Amino acid sequence: MASALKYAVTLKNAKLDAITTAIGTSGLLRIYSGTQPTNPDTALSGNTVLAELALSSTFAAGASGGVLTASSISSDTSADNTGTATFFSLLTSGGTRKVDGSVGTSGADLNLNTTSIVSGAQVSVSSLTITSGN
């Protein structure tokens, strides 16, 4: 039998707010090439950091309606490497991965105007939202 669990919005918001708490102050958004690991606790293997962007000192204001909207994200004015972006991680300022997600041009967790990143080029994210499912 399939799960029929449904959560109150207050619980969804609490789960999302826990992301901001876990990231802490001045976290990072890293964009990688290669196969996305099973989860953030799984070590990276053969992945290349293409870009690293600074998150605001507080990742996001409180979640509302089951949606967490990131505060402003600083551009990476000079991408680290050339490659095809396949996934991203939200990390603490010390580099511990807390959330991983897909990267694409549409329908991904993080949508960019292109997944082709070129070393030295600017990489920008205009917005990032995380929606809690049931």
Mean pLDDT, range 62-78, rounded to an integer: 95
**Torsion sign, CA atoms 23, 99, 17, 55:** positive
Residue 10 tokens read as: 């207050």
The neighbour count for residue 104, using CB atoms within 10 Å, is: 14
Grade residue 133 by pLDDT with cuts at 50, 70 and 90: confident
pLDDT recorded at residue 1: 75
Proportion of the chain above pLDDT 90, given as a percent: 90
For the segment 73-77, the average pLDDT, to the nearest whole number, is 96
How, if at all, do strands 28-33 and 48-54 pair?
antiparallel
b vs e for 17-33, b when ≥16 Cβ sit within 10 Å of the residue's Cβ? Answer: bebbebbbeebbbbbbb
- Alpha-helical (H) ranges within the chain are 9-23
* Closest to 112 in 3D by CA, of 20, 46, 26, 29: 29
pLDDT for residue 4 is more than 80? yes
At 2, is the pLDDT very low, low, confident or very high (cuts 50, 70, 90)?
confident
pTM of the full structure: 0.93
pLDDT in tens, 80-96: 999 999 999 999 999 99
pLDDT above 70 covers what percent of the chain? 100
Find out whether 103 and 116 touch, Cβ atoms under 8 Å. no
Nearest to 99 by CA among 85, 107, 89, 112: 89
Domain boundaries, the chain: 24-62+73-128
What's the one-letter identity of residue 56?
A: S
Residue 53: band (very low, low, confident or very high) from pLDDT cuts 50, 70, 90: very high
